């Protein structure tokens, strides 16, 4: 029996299994990063036996547990933004499909985390805690000295990176797949609805930090 192009698309994979996969992959990368890199820094080793060490362990545990909660919130919010864009353009793309689009696109952001792990395990084997926190491959952060950068700009400078652009591309592919209207209309939705929300979020972070 011939399988249609829609059925073969990555955007048509079952959402439950894909969600579990992204959660497990994120959990694995986070565990490796913490156990093999962050926990070996001098700052962490010093605090491990101090009262603050308990807070660090609790913080790590909460990070592991919160992965599915954070993803659920993120995919629901961004899926709604994309769905509003599709609705405004008159495209018959359901909220469930938009949720699935941002779910699949999230795999893009696993790549820089893997690069980060490889970088500090192979190329920079003795980083301090701030080196790890400031590092994000192919981001604006690499163009400045993070030690002289005000703290409020750290996250926005890391968020502006090439992987974010590739994320936009994957989202546009997903919209094009379900709307079947070509890439140009899909890009209009991404640039007209998602990108402004993304930039406003960075501006809001800088203002309230």
Task: Give the count of alpha carbons within 13 A of 99, CB side only.
Answer: 13
Residue 61 has which token pair?
């545990």
> pLDDT, tens digit, for every residue of 80-136?
999 999 999 999 999 999 999 999 999 999 999 999 999 988 887 777 777 788 889
CB 27 within 8 A of CB 64: yes
Residue with tokens 């603050």: 52
On whether the CB atoms of residues 52 and 43 are closer than 8 A, the answer is no
Q: How far is CA 129 from the centre of its chain?
A: 21
Per-residue confidence (pLDDT) for residue 124, from 0 to 100:
77
* Dihedral over Cα of 209, 74, 121, 44: its sign: positive
Q: How far apart are CA 99 and CA 96, in angstroms?
A: 5
pTM to 2 decimals?
Answer: 0.88
CA 176 to chain centre: 21
Write down the mean pLDDT value for the chain: 87
pLDDT per residue over 145-176, tens digit each? 888 888 899 999 999 999 999 999 999 999 99
> Domain segments of the chain: what residues?
11-208
Residue 3 pLDDT level (bands cut at 50, 70, 90): very low
Residue 67 or residue 8, greater confidence: 67
With 50 as the cut, is the pLDDT of residue 59 above it?
Answer: yes
Q: What pLDDT, on the 0 to 100 scale, is given for residue 2?
A: 37
pLDDT the model gives residue 145: 86
Quote the pLDDT of residue 48.
52
In sequence order, the 6+-apart residues with CB closer than 8 A to the CB of 36 are: 117, 121
SS3 call for 161:
strand
Phi, psi of 139 (to 5 degrees): -120, 170
Handedness of CA 124, 125, 127, 132 (dihedral sign): positive
pLDDT at 8: 66
121-138 in b/e burial notation, b at 16+ Cβ within 10 A? eeeeeebeeeebebbbbe
Neighbours of 39 (CB within 10 A): 14
Half-sphere exposure of 119 (CA within 13 A, CB side): 16
């Amino acid at each position: 029996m011939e399988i249609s192009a829609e059925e073969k698309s990555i955007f048509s994979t079952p959402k439950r299994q894909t969600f579990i996969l992204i959660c497990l992959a994120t959990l694995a990368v986070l565990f490796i990063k913490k156990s093999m890199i962050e926990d070996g820094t001098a700052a962490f080793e010093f605090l491990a036996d101090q009262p603050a060490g308990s807070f660090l362990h609790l913080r790590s545990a909460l990070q592991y547990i919160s992965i599915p909660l954070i993803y659920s919130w993120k995919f629901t919010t961004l899926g709604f933004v994309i769905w509003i864009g599709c609705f405004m353009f008159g495209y018959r793309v359901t909220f469930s499909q938009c949720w699935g689009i941002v779910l699949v696109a999230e795999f893009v952001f696993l790549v820089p985390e893997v690069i980060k792990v490889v970088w500090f395990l192979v190329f920079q084997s003795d980083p301090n805690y701030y080196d790890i926190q400031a590092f994000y491959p192919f981001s604006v952060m690499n163009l400045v000295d993070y030690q002289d950068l005000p703290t409020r700009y750290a996250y926005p400078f890391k968020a502006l990176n090439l992987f974010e652009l590739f994320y936009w591309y994957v989202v546009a592919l997903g919209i094009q797949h379900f709307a079947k209207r070509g890439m140009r209309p899909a890009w209009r939705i991404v640039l007209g609805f998602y990108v402004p929300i993304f930039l406003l979020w960075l501006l809001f972070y800088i203002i309230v930090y």
